[in-house]
Structure 1
Amino acid sequence: MKISNETKVGALTAIAIVILILGFNFLKGRNLADRSDKIYAEFPSVEGLQVSNPVFIKGLQVGKVYAMKEKDENLSGVIVTISLNKRVNIPKNSLATIGSELLGTSSVKINMGNSPTYIQDGDTLSTMKTLGLADKLQSSLDPTLAKVNKTLESLDLVLHNLNSTLDPNTKNNLQSIIANLTNSSKSLEKLLDAQTGMLAKTLANTESVTGNLAKNNDKINATVDNLEKATGKLANAKFDEAVASLQSTMAKLEATVDKVNSNQSSLGALLNDRKLYDQLLQTNRSLTTLLDDLRMHPKRYVNISVFGKKDKKGPLMSPIYDSTSTKQGNQ
């Protein structure tokens, strides 16, 4: 079976109308899918309240504002229809109020009562007028303004009595005191100006110093780098090994000095034995005498002449120059 284009267009139009109605009712706060109870509340004014605004009980949203209409032609009140989407038992002596937040929307708040009987579908809640934000501010400011006015009146009376009490001399004294205070304030101002000048000079000097530091920043960085390198080299130096080597050398030197001071070594015996020293001195003197005799009388020891005469002089008994004696030896 072939469906004509007219049938398709009609079906789509009907579906669009249904969706439009459902969407409109949803935006109005009406839920067509769920069955909900409707109760009513009469307010003298609903300023700020709109359809689909929430309804709260103890901070929990239990419904929405379904509709609003005037009570009569004189607009003596407004009847608000509340659609409840939660099954809650609301006592009959509960009160409905309109609350508005400073930066939020208005809403209906139901203050639960204590009646054993509950509101049924179609019943009307009692209402209570609540003060708006401006009314609350006005009620808070009125006592404060009254206190301020009383304080100003008392101050005016005190000043009037003070003016009538003071005689001309006292007034003149007060004027002179005020004049002195003026002069003192001028002197203080001059002093502060002088101190300000000194402070400005100090700040200028400080700025100059910081400028010089900024100009020499590269040099300062180079100096710090060199110092860091030097400290790094000192940190990497093998001080412990050097100290240990020096201690070992000192110990060996001390042992050598001890041996020199003792008679066990040759050098110690030579330095400490007086008899050995005298023998060496005598040996040196005899050797010197022999060399001097060899120099003065060589023919006595070596004879190279066939016809030469034999030297009949006796040998030297002491060196020509005796460093151990103050006298000159025989030749």
Structure 2
Amino acid sequence: MKISNETKVGILATVAIAVLIIGYSFLKGNDVFSSENTYYATYDRVDGLSVSKPVMVNGYQIGRVSKMQLLPDGNILTEFKIKHDYAIPANTVARIASTDLLGGKAIVFELGDSQLYANDGDTLQANIQRNILEQVEPVQKKAEAVVAVLDSVLSSINNTVNADFQRNFNRSIASIANTLNTLEHTSAQVDAIVGTQRTKLANILSNVESISANFKNNNEKINNILGNLNTVTDQVAKANFQQTISNANAAVADFQNIIDNINNGKGSVGLLLNDDKLYDNLNNASKNLDNLMIDLKQNPHRYVHFSIFGRKRD
């Protein structure tokens, strides 16, 4: 049977149209030759996400984004086509994640632990992971602020460090170097002295060690001597103290005896203090003596006679 050219052209056109439709559907994210489940998720933004982007679990592709629609409230409804072979738990989270440094996006399913599975047409929980540039941006701003502060500090230091300061700083460094050299020279001299006197130092240390060993060996004797010395000192101190107390008691007793004699009118002091007659006599004698001195001053001629030509005869 001979096929006409018209029939061949019709068949070829039909095949081309079918291939075109299948390819167009595939590009839109629809797999014509396999059964797939459809799931949905709603995002407030989908930067870098587009139709036909992969849907992955732990880096393994299980489906793709098939459709994206802008809702009246500004959110984006995203449709996923997942192979029928994979069961998706109901509490799975569909997260938009970055796949490269250029901002490419993909859907990553974080499988939940629910015993129930999502049905065809269910809406999954949505989440968005910031890309690397968005995560680095706050750090970049902080780094820029730090760089600005460092630049200001360096400018202040540059203004402060003038020529005079540099000269003074260099002079200080040179002085420190000279001091270190002097210390090094002194250390060398000390080392030389120690080296020359090493034998004497060894003998001194040996003598000290010998003395320490003698003290250690005679520790018991030294303790006995110190104990005896302490006992003798205590006894001397006690004897002197007792003798002093005895002498003080005797002196107090003698003084008390004298006071008693005075109070009893014994002795001159006792008579003077206790005998009224003796007091009156002494008082009268004092008055007479006072009158005599007054009369002597007023009438000296009664008691002393001076004559140039001799004594006057009465």
- Structure 2-normalised TM-score? 0.46
More helix by share: 2
Alignment TM-score, normalising by the size of structure 1 = 0.44
